Every structure is written in C-alpha cells, then in structure tokens.
Structure 1
Amino acid sequence: MGLRIWYNRTFSTASHYAEMIRHNADQRQFEIYVTHPKKHSLMLQIADYAELEPSLPVHEYPGYCLDFCKKHRIDIFIPHFGMSEIVKHHAEFASIGTKLLAAGDADLIGLVSDKGKLFSALSALEGITLPDYEVVSTVEEFKEAYHRLKAKGYKVCFKPASGEGGAGFRVIQEARPSIMSLYDTCGPYIHLDEAIRLLSSVPAFPPLMVMEFMKGHEYSIDCLASSSSLLAAVPRKKVEGRVRLLEKNELLIDWAHQIHQVLPLQYNFNIQVIYQGDKPKLLEINPRTSGGLYTSCLTGINFPYLAIKLLLDEEVEVPDPEFGIMATHVEKEMVMKRIFP
C-alpha cells in the first residue's frame, strides 16, 4: 500500500475528503487511518484502519498522537481535534518521519483561532470590512459593549473569541419571551437579563466578542495555498437551507488574496463572510478544511488531494474552477460494517 494518512477526531464530512484523496487523478495509493472517541463515528467506517481514541486531558493529547504516529508509521497526520496543541510539537513529529498537514505554525494557528487577535491583525487592510465589535471578559465590559452597539442601531450578538462553528453564538433579545416561544423552534436567542445574570456569576470569563448581528447572505471561501501563494479560492454562497452556489465573486476572491498576504496560511483553510446589506464583513477564518468543502470540489479542484501534494513539495497544477454551480445534498444510508464494543 501507499502512504499512511491519519485523521484524528474530526467531523463526519471529512469522510468525503478521505475518499477524494483515495480517488486522486494520479492513481496514487494511500492507507487511511482514523481514530475517534465515539464508536459510531462515520469516519471509523471508511478507514482502512480504525481505532477508538482514549479520553485524555488536552495537555496529554499530543503525546498520544506522537505515540500513535510512531506505532503505526504514519506518513501524514491531518489533525483536527487538538490542533492548536499538536502543532506546538511539529519538530517531534518530523523527527519520527510524520508530516503534519496543518495550515500554519503554532503562532499563526493561535492568532487565527482567536477572533479578537484576528480582527486586530486584519484591521489595517484596505477593503476588508470588519463588523463592529468589542472583546469583553467581565460583565461590566459586556454591558458597556452591548449598550454602545445598541446605541448605533445594531441588533447585538456575542460568541466566544476562540471557538469552532456556531458553539456559544447567541443573539440578544430585550423583549421577554411569550408562551408562544415554547411552541417555536429553539434558536440561538438569549434575553439580555439572562445573559447578564449568567456572566455575573463569575468575576471574569473567557473572552467573548460582542458584535453587530448580521443577517445577510453568508459565504464560505474555501482556499488552497502554499505559504507563499494562494492557488485557489472558491466562494460558496449559502442560498437557502442546504442549497449552495459556487459563485465567481471577484470581491471575495480578492479578499482571500489580501488576507493570505498578511496571514500566510497553507494547504486548506476557509474564510467566512456575511453580508450586511450590500457590504460583506468578515466573520472568521478556519485554519483547516471546512465542513462543506466537498461542495466546493465540484468546481473541479480536488482541494484535499492537492493539499497533500503541496505538503509533499510536489508540483501542483490547479485547474480553472467551474463556477455557477448550484448544489445541495441529501442523506444516504450506510451500513456499519465495523462495530466496536
């Protein structure tokens, strides 16, 4: 068999990326290794070798990863869970012959993963618009930020300065919920008094970003890059529900190039943008493959496999992307053939 690639704990759509690497245009052979703490994870089903991960404190997790790579002679490790800690041990992985496919070093990953630091780093870029925001760590700071944004006419929301996906995202409401709210679908809403009550329960809390709430069209820009050059950027528009449009949005493609000049992320990474009226504003940058990258691959660019080639210092030819594709997805049944006790 060919090179051994390991996916540690990651989201189920990464199964698409493992298959795209397997079915590459060069017909190169790979062995896919997967670990996950949940025994029913889809990722465990698509692997050539699968194993359950132990439950470990974050500071012990890189040691487990190093031991796994050494034991199984892993050639390429694509970390997701624990990435910020894992990349600090880059040299140790290199010493045992394992290449880390990570978008940057520990400093760059740390900067991009903290939205407050990220926004500060990009604030001087002309043409890149940031939302109105404040980073707070005490309830008094929270209340001041809320009232300042409210006075500007914004609906206000907040989310953790460091976090992944929609975890911790809340939209603040001043009107108290009525009984009919018990019959509505639960949303990310929280009453102002409840937010203040919870935040008042501790002297200080992990940093939150209090910011204007934006509700226009949202885009994910999937990117492929080396540390010196952005090779591809595909804006993926959330049309409605599960419908996505792969759009040749020249402004957002230019944004990706500007951002890469300041933050030289490499391999696969993702930029999230949301429109406020006709003006796009940056939401966050994910230093990893996005959950919906498989849709952007419909442009004809095999993002996961080309990232592998970049990691191996091989020549990469990126086809011109086919834009204007509207796509969606449906669930598909899958028989689980690998059962863990």
Structure 2
Amino acid sequence: MIWFLEGQASQRDILLGAREALPAHIRITASHRSDRPEITGLADIALQEPADSDERIPWVIHTAVARGVQVVVAGRLGALYEAHRADFNAAGLTLVTGGLSPHTFACVDDKATFTAMAHAAGLACIPATTVTSSEQLQAAYQACRASGEVCVKPVVGIYGQGFWRLREGLDPYRCFANPDAREVDFATYLRAYAAQPEREPLLVMPYLPGPECSVDMVCEAGRVVAYVGRRKSGAHQRFERDTAATGLAIAAAEHFHCDGIVNVQTRDDIDGQPRLLEINPRYSGGIGYTRMTGINLAGIFATRRLGLPEPAGHWIDAVRVKPITVAVLAQG
C-alpha cells in the first residue's frame, strides 16, 4: 500500500496517475489536513490529518503501521518529514520526501544558498545578490541594472510569491491596477521596502526575457528515471524532452540528490540559453498535464517504489494542453 500525504491541489492528479498504473488490488491511501473529498475521495482510503504539526508525525507513523502501508509520500511538508526519517525507518516504512537528508532541503529551499551552490557546481544559473536593507537593495539594483532589466524575489518562498519585475518609466499605480503583471517601477518598490527597518532576505537578479521550462521528474536517490518538460505558450502548455533546458534540470536534480517526484524550473536568457531558477523538492501544481504526453510520472513513481512493473511510456509529439476548470462532486 502507498500513502500520499497532503500536497498541492495537484495531489488529485497524482492519485489519478498512480491508480491508472497500479494493479487493482494495491490500495492507495490519501490524506489532507482540510476537508478535501474532491482529492482524497479518489483513493481507496481517505484520511484527515491532524492540524498540529507536532501531532502529525506520530499519527502518520502509527496509522501507516496499523494499516499495512509500505510507502509514505510527503507532499507539501517534505522538510518536516525528512527530519524524522529515522523514526519512519525504525517503523519499517519507506519515506519519500523529495530529498534524502535535511541537507537537500537546506540547499534548495533557501534560494540564495541554492544559487551559490549551483554556480559552484558549474550549473548555469542566474547570478543573484542577497539584500536585507533598503541601502543594499538600491546598491544591488544599480549594479544589476547596468546589464539590463532587474527582478526581485524572496530568498524563501513558493508559487512565485514576492516576485516583481522592476521596470523604469512605469506608472507607479500600475502595480495596484494590475498586480498580476508583477511589474513595478523601482522608486515605488524601494519606498515600500524601506517602510520597515527590517525585511526578510531578498534576491536581486537580472530579469531573463525568455520562456520558462518546468521539468517534472521522478528521481531515485539522486538519479532521474523519468521526466517531462513543459512550457506555457499563451493559454496552452507544450511539452519537450531531450532539450538543453531538460538536460540542465536533470543535472541539477541529480547534483542535489533529489528523491521522489520533484520539479525543476529554468528560464531562457536573451540568447535562448536555459538558466536554472529553482528546485522544488515536491510535485508541481501542473504535473497532471504531463500525462497527456503518454508519460505517467505518478504511475512510474508508485510502481517502482512498490517493486511493481512500471507503466510503459509512449511519448506523443506535438501535444498541446489547455487547462480548464470543472466542477467536482464533493461527497462525504
């Protein structure tokens, strides 16, 4: 039996992929701390996790042992579970967190540390300066601006929260009128940043004009066994394999010893060359789209972890996917 703990909303897609690949007699457990039957209802066994983090670890271990679970897959809280790997091992459980030690999470969750280590490893990445004050921000901006447009983002964060493109000559009100554009003039941003004497660390870096490539992959002890790259193209997503971007993503995941279903993001520079953005040691929000290519990443992951034959992959070229919103009956 395999148990998928609370993850992103794409936990539903992970369950669909796993169920498609696993034999009918293999039971799947899914859980979430909130009442999310539209997600957990796809599993054979649906559970609700304790809200308190201190209670969650012993509850997961006890429940897994009692129900005969073999593999426990962390979702959003990989670092928390990784810190208790010894407890899972002692209980005879295989724990999958996205990494193999707390060191992996310390390296990839802090984007300043990640950038420095990636650069030292010879992985093409975006140079960045860490700032913690308005004076440092202004100095870093002026230095970076000399070579082109500038952007900023928090040292720690997900979903692109806190990312802003700093553009000269913009109407200062634009960031309020159209916040989804993530564009603001530097003077406005600096005034807001300087309103408090202390801020969380921020990265200042060149803004790359090229498209992003999000590479979803299955890793085992620092080795990539399956992957699909995808790029947004207007309202659609397109997919790729064996490109410079996917090659860079694979090299990064293997260098940082990823383990599980993870996501690596790159962005092309002005010359069309990919640069490493970040590693997310968990499955992405868009991983469900990749099944349309004929590669079932969740199914490959689940079968291999349970020692079962993995589903055959048949890559389909020129696939284009458009996400839509549908209503799901939430029972229970």
Structure 2 equivalent of residue 123 of structure 1: 119
Query: Aligned partners of 1:276, 1:70: CA distance in 2, in Å?
Result: 49
Structure 2 equivalent of residue 327 of structure 1: 321
- Please give the per-residue CA displacement for 1:54-93, whole angstroms capped at 9, x wherever unaligned: 543xxxx154232233135343322223221221101112
Q: Is the 8 A contact 2:132 2:199 kept in 1?
A: yes
Q: CA RMSD in A?
A: 2.7
Q: How does 1:17-32 map to 2 (within 5 A)?
A: 17-24=14-21, 26-32=23-29
Q: Is the 8 A contact 2:115 2:127 kept in 1?
A: no
- Please give the per-residue CA displacement for 1:122-159, whole angstroms capped at 9, x wherever unaligned: 21445x4222321222222211111111122x221111
- Please give the per-residue CA displacement for 1:18-74, whole angstroms capped at 9, x wherever unaligned: 12112215445223231233x357324434444544543xxxx15423223313534
Q: Structure 1 pair 175/117, CA: closer, same or farther in 2 (3 Å)?
A: same
Structure 1 equivalent of residue 57 of structure 2: 65
For normalisation by structure 2, the TM-score amounts to: 0.86
Structure 2 equivalent of residue 114 of structure 1: 110
Structure 2 equivalent of residue 244 of structure 1: 237
Query: Aligned partners of 1:138, 1:184: CA distance in 2, in Å?
Result: 26
Q: Residue 7 of structure 1: which of 1, 5, 8 is its match?
A: 5
Structure 1 equivalent of residue 94 of structure 2: 99
Q: Residue 36 of structure 1: which of 23, 33, 36 is its match?
A: 33
Query: Aligned partners of 2:179, 2:200: CA distance in 1, in Å?
Result: 29
Q: How does 1:287-298 map to 2 (within 5 A)?
A: 287-298=281-292
Query: Aligned partners of 1:149, 1:268: CA distance in 2, in Å?
Result: 35
Greater RCO structure (CA 8 Å; 6+ sep): 2
3-state SS, counterpart of residue 330 of structure 1: coil
3-state SS, counterpart of residue 87 of structure 2: helix
For normalisation by structure 1, the TM-score amounts to: 0.84
Q: Is the 8 A contact 1:235 1:248 kept in 2?
A: yes
Query: Aligned partners of 1:162, 1:182: CA distance in 2, in Å?
Result: 24
Question: 1:189: Cα distance to partner?
Answer: 2.9
Query: Aligned partners of 2:174, 2:252: CA distance in 1, in Å?
Result: 45
3-state SS, counterpart of residue 177 of structure 1: coil
Query: Aligned partners of 1:178, 1:107: CA distance in 2, in Å?
Result: 41
3-state SS, counterpart of residue 21 of structure 2: coil
Q: Is the 8 A contact 2:79 2:97 kept in 1?
A: no
Q: Structure 1 pair 11/146, CA: closer, same or farther in 2 (3 Å)?
A: same
Query: Aligned partners of 1:189, 1:80: CA distance in 2, in Å?
Result: 31
Q: Structure 1 pair 181/31, CA: closer, same or farther in 2 (3 Å)?
A: closer
Query: Aligned partners of 1:199, 1:185: CA distance in 2, in Å?
Result: 16
Structure 2 equivalent of residue 83 of structure 1: 78
Q: Residue 219 of structure 1: which of 213, 226, 230 is its match?
A: 213
Question: 1:314: Cα distance to partner?
Answer: 5.5
Q: Is the 8 A contact 1:309 1:316 kept in 2?
A: yes
Q: Where does structure 1 differ by over 6 angstroms across 4 or more consecutive aligned residues?
A: 178-182
3-state SS, counterpart of residue 115 of structure 2: helix
Query: Aligned partners of 1:279, 1:4: CA distance in 2, in Å?
Result: 39
Q: Structure 1 pair 75/202, CA: closer, same or farther in 2 (3 Å)?
A: farther
| % same residue | 20
In the alignment, structure 2 segments of 5+ residues that lack a partner are none
Q: Is the 8 A contact 2:175 2:183 kept in 1?
A: no
Structure 2 equivalent of residue 282 of structure 1: 276
Query: Aligned partners of 1:45, 1:303: CA distance in 2, in Å?
Result: 21
State the AA in 1 paired with 2:141: Y
In the alignment, structure 1 segments of 5+ residues that lack a partner are none
3-state SS, counterpart of residue 103 of structure 2: helix
3-state SS, counterpart of residue 89 of structure 2: helix
State the AA in 2 paired with 1:90: R
